[in-house]
Amino acid sequence: MNQERKIRVAVVFGGRGPEHAISCASGGTVLACIDRDRYDVVPIGILPDGRWVLTADEPARLAITGGQLPSVEAVAEPGGQVLPWTAGGRPQEPGALATAGPGAIPRELGEVDVVLPVLHGPFGEDGTMQGLLEMAGLRYVGAGVLASAVSMDKEYMKLIFRARGLPVGPFVVVRDRDWPEADGSGPAAAVASRPAAETERKRVLDAIGELGWPVFVKPARGGSSIGTSRADDLAGLYRAIETARRYDRKILVEQAITGREIECAVLEGLDGAPPDTSMPGQLMVDGGEEFFDFEAKYLDDANGMAIPAPIPADHLEEVRRLAAAAFEAVSGEGLARVDFFYTPDGEILLNEINTMPGMTAASYFPKMWAASGFSLRELIDRLITTALSKPPGLR
């Protein structure tokens, strides 16, 4: 590392997915809290159409204020696109970023020591961005390609958890080929005319029937509760599947778990040590929402978190143990937030792992760490240090 200059960090936010605005808010928090004495910050936004642009370094303009959602468009600087600039495949050379206007020759933005992709959802948190950065020889914060991909896909996430003996609730996967379109168009329309597909759909419906009502229906690679809804009967199931399919062709139908929602934040251990876990917290939905939907998560100030979660001390310990085990099951790196259901009889079930948890002002990852004695500035420091401690290449 060059001692004469600060560590250069590209903070990347926004993105192509439905969580664009949440990612902007998370990016804004990082820009506001990162230690400017140690780091030279390059803020980069990804527009909904996929273009990378330089943005204003003004965290306040990226906050969720008065129910208004931020966007990259609103903070984009005039000028060309930003591109990851590959170092020609030499593993020891740091990667770089370049800018280029339409038809212009790229102008190098300079060396970037580490990329902090504060991106949520598909094309950001699912291994695609991580693959792009690997190809460009750029180091980055957080989970690698495999851990990101597995954790983003709720089917494979649960399969891995189960294989590791971790507790997950019952679920059924509904694939495109299993489900005819409501309007009879599209690739699934063929289902009705294929007897084998009809058999498959019956099998899926029978399996869902065994879950019992109500069920939760969600896009397999969703986040922020977008596209997720509860169904109380067959008609509701059809509606919920149509809603979820707007976001993903693969859907999960889960048995509804009665219980509280408990979360635990995880950081990769230093120097190969086991992961560190925060004090777990319990979500408090007081705003009248029927479950922890988008509104409850980001727009309703009535909701918060009780830290530590008001459950017996040995159950808090068990939540932390399971959070660390979930992190290791997917080969997590850097950070994660692991979410649980806690049933009235004290059973702890894993709901999901998020490899780039929300970092907005209302988010629980920073809140749980704050309650465990870690400020956001220290967290960002730790994430960058962990990322820089590993050589680029196979993980």
Ligand X SMILES: Nc1ncnc2c1ncn2[C@@H]1O[C@H](COP(=O)(O)OP(=O)(O)O)[C@@H](O)[C@H]1O
Residues within window 341-370 making contact with ligand X, judged by CB under 6 A = 351-352
Applying CB under 6 A, among 18, 45, 117, 223 the residue interacting with ligand X is 223
Runs of H (alpha helix) within 246-358:
294, 313-329
Per rule CB under 6 A, count of chain residues that contact ligand X: 17
The helix/strand/coil state of 93 is coil
Applying CB under 6 A, among 120, 218, 245, 260 the residue interacting with ligand X is 218
Q: CB of 298: closest distance to ligand X in angstroms?
A: 12
Which of residues 74 and 257 has its CB atom nearest to ligand X in the complex? 257
Q: Are 267 and 380 in contact (CB under 8 A)?
A: no
E-only strand ranges, 158-214: 171-174
Residues within window 265-324 making contact with ligand X, judged by CB under 6 A = 291-292
Using CB atoms, what's the residue nearest to ligand X? 292
CA angle in degrees (0–180, nearest 5) for 71-74-79: 115
Among candidate residues 344, 338, 395, 315, the one with its CA nearest the CA of residue 161: 338
Interstrand relation of 7-14 and 114-117 (parallel, antiparallel or unpaired) = parallel
**Residues in CB range of 56: below 8 A, 6 or more apart:** 43, 75, 77
Which of residues 276 and 339 has its CB atom nearest to ligand X in the complex? 339
Tell whether residue 339 is a contact of ligand X (CB under 6 A). Answer: yes
Instruction: Return the CA Rg of the chain.
Output: 21
Residues within window 29-88 making contact with ligand X, judged by CB under 6 A = none
Q: Mark residues 142-181: x for contact with ligand X by CB under 6 A, - for none.
A: ---------------------------x------------
Q: CB of 72: closest distance to ligand X in angstroms?
A: 21
**Residues in CB range of 55: below 8 A, 6 or more apart:** 43, 44, 45, 72, 75, 76, 77
Applying CB under 6 A, among 228, 278, 303, 360 the residue interacting with ligand X is 228
Applying CB under 6 A, among 113, 261, 263, 333 the residue interacting with ligand X is 261
Partners of 339 in the β-ladder: 263, 352
Which of residues 261 and 268 has its CB atom nearest to ligand X in the complex? 261
Applying CB under 6 A, among 225, 243, 277, 363 the residue interacting with ligand X is 225
Residues at the interface with ligand X (CB under 6 A):
169, 216, 218, 222-225, 228, 254, 256-257, 261, 291-292, 339, 351-352
